[in-house]
Structure 1
Amino acid sequence: MQEFMDVLRRQAHYFGPELAKLAYERGLAVTKPDGSTLPIPITATPVILDAEEIKRRAQLSAKLASATLKMARAVLAGEDPGRLLGALSPLERTLAERTWEQSRTLATTRVDYFVSAGRPWALEVNATIPAMQGYSDIAARSFIEVVARHLRYPEKGLAALHTLNGNNALALYRALLDGYAAERDGQLPDTVALLCRKNDAQVTELRWLCERFREFGADADVVHPEDVSGEDSFTVRGKKYDLVYRHLFVRRLEQSPAPWVEDFLGTVPGKKAVFLNPPASQVEVKTTFALLSQALTEPALADSAGLTPDELEAVRAAVPWTRPFRHGPGTGPDGATVDDVVARVSEEPARFVLKRAWDYGGKAVFLGRSVGTVPYEERVKGAYGESLTWAQLCARAATDTQGGGFVVQEVVDTQPEDHLLCGQNSVLPTSFFVDYSAYASVGLSKQPAWGGVCRGSMSEIVNIVGGGGVLPLITTEVAAKLLLAWKAL
């Protein structure tokens, strides 16, 4: 679709500001603690993929997410559950211990990838708050509408373009309904609560999802922990809710305790209401992901988790070499036995990345090939209070137990891409590292029609709240129709 991208680059200064304005109005924004908002930048240059490829990546993610849940369960049922539980905060650990045996359904997960030479490589699995379903839809829908109108595409055809492009909010809604029906003998919920903090950083996304749920027919509301009560039901201001969608980090409850909600989250899939995205911190801890990679060379580990041949093949095809970062022998990324994993990683910084096993926002992620750069120095000093060489960092990280210690991963070679970043008064060229995230469900009778979301950042450590933007994800079929409209002008 290079021809279409060329058209967009030539025309972006005409439609880009309107695209940024519309996306921001719809909720593509970060909310600050005082309630004010900052727009999340959007690009005029989308990621374009065949619908079948988007589907294939969602199916791959379903296998990886299922395997990760199985591995977490195997560890917690084994002789050393502390290797996962030890990474968690006190409340996270309490809830994990109370719920892990019953947590077999994850209505929504997200697998984050870097794509290298057309091949997606999974970097991690998100299971605590696998967000951005709303952000992704806002970006794609806003792009389609603004570009279509600029190209004078028939207004009556916009709904068909949106349908052709997919809908993550609808996939999430169907996942929640399917999960609810499985728990309540085929019934559907009358009321749905979207639970988040007041002025949550992503509350505009939650409001977008709530509006979509209402369009789909649900009596849905955004609610907050301090407002919830009820002796035998999940009740907010006298209104009872049948189904709860949780968008709430457990650690936020430790900062602002809400005993009722803490107790509610300790029962899966819930008695006072059904909730299908439990705070599965043990699944998202990067040690769990590292053990998936390790299972490829240790059949006993794969067997203990009950990994299927399809799940193992998904790990083999998409997970880069990843290991718990600790001293001792192991199998290196080339398949050869190494005497000491830490020493091996220390010798070749350009090949590896260190990640704290349990952390948010990429604050403790260290790229060996970035040694000597300002971002590397800032991160190292932020973590350890002083400048460290790669060898010194490896020595410190190997014995650091905070957040469950570190994992090491073979770096995925990705290069920055040229994009056009839209503001409400400008369109500027920028160079972005771009990731691809695909959604999936675990434990449902069937997968909804999940899609994905793409983020861009000037840093290789991509994070929206910490800076960066969203790239509209557009199917080849939609792009082709828009290109025809341009040619018809």
Structure 2
Amino acid sequence: MPPSVDAALAALSPAARAAFASDYAARAFDLGLRYLAPEGARPIPVAFPPIVEPAARTAERAAVARATTAVLARVAVRLLDGAAGGALAEALFAELAPFERAIVERRYRSIDKLATVRVDLFVDPDGVDRVLEINATIPAMQGYSDIAAQAFVETVLERLGHGGDAAAILAANGSNARDLLASLVACYRADGGTEALPSIALLHRPGDSQLGELEYLAASFRAAGHDARTVLSTAVTLEGGRAVTGPFAPAILYRHVFASRLDPALPLATIFAAPEGHHLYNPVDPHLEQKSLLAELSAASVDEARAALLGLHPAEAALVRRHVPWTRRLAGGPTTGPAGEPIADPVAWCVAQRDRLVIKRSWDFGGKGVFLGAEYGDEASLQRARDRFGEARSWEALIEACVAEGGWVIQERVPLRRRQLSIASREGAALRELFVDVSAYTNVGVAPAPTGGVCRASGSPIVNIQSGGGVVPLLSAEATARLAAQLR
């Protein structure tokens, strides 16, 4: 009987392990697991052994992501309509950049389909998936996750196996890129698109750090028969009311551009502001990423009157209580704590409870606006404070600054255990204790729903690719069993 994949890796000699890691990292880089830095393309780290779980478990997590996102999107409409008061609606709108806000104010009621959403989670000590945040603007890493799995499987077969059929193993594992394509086409069909194999423009900004992933996705879409190309945001023009770039007139526009980073004078900005008929997916929807919305959802889940006001049904409130950590907007005024206890002074309470809390900027990305109470005071967190507020501050002063600025939330920290993993590079393998999160992909308003995910690893409990994290292959138990059967 062949060994398990983990056992085969563990049995490698130091030299063989280094050679495996070098091949694995090189293969991942060549496939597109890299970011574009000022000095050129740089590798995104990959780790091993993979995270392995039954496909049904990953699909279950994706179903939680879909249900949570759908509830959040519906409650967002009620909140922005002013159901909980005009002052709260204004506070939510005020967190957005001017061009984003102008679009959201006009269109938030019209967003009924999302082709792709990434829901970032931690699995708590009881094995429950806890939703930390929802990414619907640029919910990346579908390609990165597929690349990590492909590079790992191919390298195992080459170095440890009989050169078996990698394609069959990867097919058993599923593909986030394939799920994304199915969702894009489903949205296109739902909006009246009729082309049998619609062409796709993957829109990106100049110098986009994730261009390697977009090129991988475009190649994956082309392999399925679509004319798919990466397209600069500045290269799009309007001809006869249709988006074009040179002779290419794509049927679908896949948005990988923040509206806040787009010159409002560009033709593409016109499409962002009025996407009807352009098959733009996802439309401009930064409000759905606001952690303040998640805070309002969390608060309503334990308040029957608030839940009724926002149209949150009892079963949905139960879903939120189970899967969304206690989260509140960091603002003056009384609220309730994780156990339902009254909190008269949120600032004083946050100071006293710092070890169990995380402070987050409501609309931000890349881990830049995240402060962990238990770790606050180390150089990395103090530098983030300097970057945000111009100087290092005490924990209490940090909270007061966040309250004064507005647009911050507090969230109960979900414990995340470390795993022993090897970081692969062209130089070999470095064994480290790392934090590993998990994200689930989903969509809203169309079927079929994605069932995959991605895992990231980092030496910091703020797990993020942009802050030094890497990708760990997420393999189904079924695909891993096929891979193990090919081992020598």
Report the TM-score, using the length of structure 1 for normalisation: 0.93
Aligned to 1:370: 375
Aligned to 1:412: 414
Give matches, 1:51-450, under 5 Å.
51-78=55-82, 79-80=85-86, 81-117=89-125, 118-155=127-164, 157-184=165-192, 188=196, 190-229=198-237, 230-254=239-263, 257-268=264-275, 270-271=276-277, 273-401=278-406, 405-444=407-446, 446-450=447-451
Aligned to 2:468: 467
Report deviation, 1:45: 1.5
AA of the residue aligned to 2:187: G
Report deviation, 1:448: 2.9
Check conservation: 1:180, 1:188, Cα contact below 8 A: no
Deviation per residue, 1:430-467 (Å, 9 max, x gap):
221111010110111x2334300011111111111221
AA of the residue aligned to 2:48: A
Aligned to 1:42: 46
Task: Give 5+ residue unaligned stretches, structure 2.
Answer: none
Please provide the CA RMSD for this pair. 1.8
Question: Aligned partners of 1:456, 1:69: CA distance in 2, in Å?
Answer: 29
Check conservation: 1:33, 1:201, Cα contact below 8 A: no
Question: Aligned partners of 2:115, 2:307: CA distance in 1, in Å?
Answer: 24
Question: Match of 1:361, SS?
Answer: coil
Report deviation, 1:412: 0.7
Check conservation: 1:98, 1:267, Cα contact below 8 A: no
Report deviation, 1:339: 1.6
> Which has the higher mean CA deviation after the structures are superposed, 308-317 or 101-110?
308-317
Percent sequence identity is: 36
Question: Aligned partners of 1:123, 1:73: CA distance in 2, in Å?
Answer: 21
Aligned to 1:13: 18
> Which has the higher mean CA deviation after the structures are superposed, 292-301 or 16-25?
292-301
Deviation per residue, 1:400-444 (Å, 9 max, x gap):
23xxx2100001111222110000121111221111010110111
Deviation per residue, 1:336-366 (Å, 9 max, x gap):
1222222211111101011111122111211
Report deviation, 1:252: 1.6
Report the TM-score, using the length of structure 2 for normalisation: 0.93
Question: Match of 1:421, SS?
Answer: strand
Report deviation, 1:309: 4.3
Report deviation, 1:3: 5.2
Question: Aligned partners of 1:339, 1:188: CA distance in 2, in Å?
Answer: 59
Question: Aligned partners of 1:87, 1:160: CA distance in 2, in Å?
Answer: 47
Question: Aligned partners of 1:449, 1:125: CA distance in 2, in Å?
Answer: 15
> Which has the higher mean CA deviation after the structures are superposed, 309-318 or 11-20?
309-318
AA of the residue aligned to 2:192: R
Question: Match of 1:111, SS?
Answer: strand
Check conservation: 1:225, 1:258, Cα contact below 8 A: no
Question: Aligned partners of 1:318, 1:57: CA distance in 2, in Å?
Answer: 10
Question: Match of 1:140, SS?
Answer: helix
Question: Aligned partners of 2:207, 2:377: CA distance in 1, in Å?
Answer: 37
Question: Aligned partners of 2:24, 2:193: CA distance in 1, in Å?
Answer: 44
Task: Give 5+ residue unaligned stretches, structure 1.
Answer: none
AA of the residue aligned to 2:123: V
Report deviation, 1:312: 2.6
Question: Aligned partners of 2:64, 2:242: CA distance in 1, in Å?
Answer: 37
- How many equivalent pairs are there? 476
